[in-house]
Chains A and B, each alone.
Chain A
């Protein structure tokens, strides 16, 4: 079953928190909605599921047809950002979605058990839910949603607050679990790697509007405006006044490296000049904050910094790592 929407708006105090003209997720596909904090990701997810009391307009579609709230309840299982488990055993929690849909307890537990196994928490089945760690809680919450065999699965930042190892493991288990279902999946996240790991397509949400939508690898590597560029990690912005190019160029800071005075600019690079304001240690690397004539620019490098704060510095970026990016005109969306 596919899910989609037409002109879906969520309004609070006369202001559109979310305004999505069109969105479609076919069955079997995972679409990531990538956005920064406050972009409206969770609001969009809740609006698609008709959850919450926010003022909402527009149409949510199931298989291309306008869906009622009751139909959405039947089709959708949602995992909220902060997993809410019931005061019960892990197995009873995993079975809760089925129980809420009227399945008898024994049957619900029997059907939920394989999903605990798939998410790697079957050994915790008899434990009380309140004794679980954050990662275990999130796994149980996902198992609970998958157990109802939803035709549409909505995941709201399911990896938030997990340590790196737990997150990587859960990503792999979730990927495998999703492969077994033919559900349309919406993954809300602010993490590009989660989108890359799980989603065939990615939408970039900025100020409640979808700015970019396409194949994940393409979207993540080709921002179409400065706000999308920042969202995708292209946070080094080089305006025309600095480069002499027609449009602003953007790059990931880790692709920008300092040049010492003796080094001639390599071929196919854009070199800018500025004054090193400060050096910020980042574990194995350092971030260089450089003041230029058009504003601050950042570079991240593992190389030795050729100068000290207050001194002139040159920053070089290979053209293959630069993207052209017109300034976004909000009136165009």
Chain B
């Protein structure tokens, strides 16, 4: 109990006194995870749109693949990305392994299926005649699609945030492709693991609290967005 109590007090002290390392790690975590989310959204949202609106053979299989992708363990993604970026691997020449860029790639790969699946779900929840009605009012295909995305903006925001929530809290891929190098690729999750293994519980708890806070903010935003959507349904 003392360990936990003392750890909590020390953690709060570290955060409130602006411990440089803690905030640097937090900054890198946010930078990497936000970048990965943006990349995942840029690639995943269009795929989700095609899967939601397209009528082609294999669409349901691809949707099932995206849904399955939501449950792929980060450590498996980390393994694949590591192999790809390994010095002797297909992309080894780029020299990206153990860099924040490698972590962005791995985390984007983790978030992309989430964004794809939730984008498709978001658009499928809109009235099936929505696009037809917009076209019937004179909209071009492009403008009608724009109106559809605006109509589904809150679920789309939730999709992006779910992607962010998944990557900011994962540790397996970040550890494997980032290597947890101090000042370079150390993020909150890998730092917490390291601190715990060294018995620095206060530090580990501080990292945990920051992670919890970020997770809370993300979930609060998603919940508020969903409630606003529900209230106006």
Spell out A's residues near B (CB within 8 Å). 46, 49, 51-53, 73-74, 76-80, 82-84, 86-87, 96-97, 100-102, 128, 130, 144-145, 148, 150, 154
**Residues of chain A contacted by B130 (CB below 8 angstroms):** 84
Identify which of A87, A128, A148 contacts B137 (C-beta below 8 A).
Answer: A148
A15 to B139, CA, bound (A): 30
**Residues of chain B contacted by A73 (CB below 8 angstroms):** 135, 138-140
12 more A-B residue pairs beyond the given contacts A51-B132, A74-B138, with a C-beta to C-beta distance below 8 A: A82-B127, A83-B133, A86-B151, A87-B232, A96-B134, A100-B139, A100-B143, A101-B138, A128-B232, A130-B232, A145-B137, A150-B138
Task: Kindly provide the distance from the CB of B128 to the nearest chain A CB, expressed in whole angstroms.
Answer: 9
Question: How many inter-chain residue pairs (CB < 8 Å) link A and B?
Answer: 63
27 contacts between A and B (CB under 8 A): A49-B136, A51-B136, A53-B55, A73-B139, A73-B140, A77-B137, A77-B138, A78-B133, A78-B136, A79-B136, A82-B127, A82-B129, A83-B133, A84-B129, A84-B130, A87-B151, A96-B134, A96-B137, A96-B147, A97-B137, A97-B138, A100-B137, A100-B138, A100-B139, A144-B137, A148-B137, A148-B138
Identify which of B132, B140, B150, B232 contacts A52 (C-beta below 8 A).
Answer: B132
A276 to B129, CA, bound (A): 48
Q: Scoring B residues 144 to 179 as 1 if CB is less than 8 Å from chain A, else 0, what string do you get?
A: 100100110000000000000000000000000000
* Chain B residue at smallest Cβ distance from A82: B129
Q: Is the CB of A78 within 8 A of B137?
A: yes
A303 to B130, CA, bound (A): 50
Q: Scoring B residues 96 to 123 as 1 if CB is less than 8 Å from chain A, else 0, what string do you get?
A: 0000000000000000000000000000
**Residues of chain A contacted by B139 (CB below 8 angstroms):** 73, 100-101
**B233 within 8 Å of A by Cβ?**
yes
Q: Is the CB of A77 within 8 A of B129?
A: no
Identify which of B133, B138, B143 contacts A84 (C-beta below 8 A).
Answer: B133
Query: For B127, B137, B140, which residue has the most chain A Cβ atoms within 10 angstroms?
Result: B137
A87 to B151, CA, bound (A): 6
A130 to B139, CA, bound (A): 22
Task: Kindly provide the distance from the CB of B131 to the nearest chain A CB, expressed in whole angstroms.
Answer: 9
* Chain A residue at smallest Cβ distance from B132: A51
A128 to B8, CA, bound (A): 47
**Residues of chain A contacted by B147 (CB below 8 angstroms):** 86, 96, 100
* Chain B residue at smallest Cβ distance from A46: B132
A226 to B143, CA, bound (A): 46
**Residues of chain A contacted by B134 (CB below 8 angstroms):** 96, 100
Identify which of A53, A87, A154 contacts B136 (C-beta below 8 A).
Answer: A154
Q: Is the CB of B138 within 8 A of A130?
A: no
Query: What 4 A-B pairs come out closest when comparing CB atoms?
Result: A78-B136, A100-B139, A97-B137, A84-B133
A86 to B152, CA, bound (A): 10
* Chain A residue at smallest Cβ distance from B153: A87
A97 to B147, CA, bound (A): 11
**Residues of chain B contacted by A130 (CB below 8 angstroms):** 232-233
Identify which of B127, B144, B233 contacts A100 (C-beta below 8 A).
Answer: B144
**Residues of chain A contacted by B233 (CB below 8 angstroms):** 130
Q: Is the CB of B136 within 8 A of A77?
A: yes
**Residues of chain A contacted by B137 (CB below 8 angstroms):** 77-78, 96-97, 100-101, 144-145, 148
* Chain A residue at smallest Cβ distance from B148: A86
A100 to B150, CA, bound (A): 12
Query: For A46, A53, A79, A84, which residue has the most chain B Cβ atoms within 10 angstroms?
Result: A84
**Residues of chain B contacted by A80 (CB below 8 angstroms):** 129, 132-133, 136
* Chain B residue at smallest Cβ distance from A78: B136
**Residues of chain A contacted by B135 (CB below 8 angstroms):** 51, 73
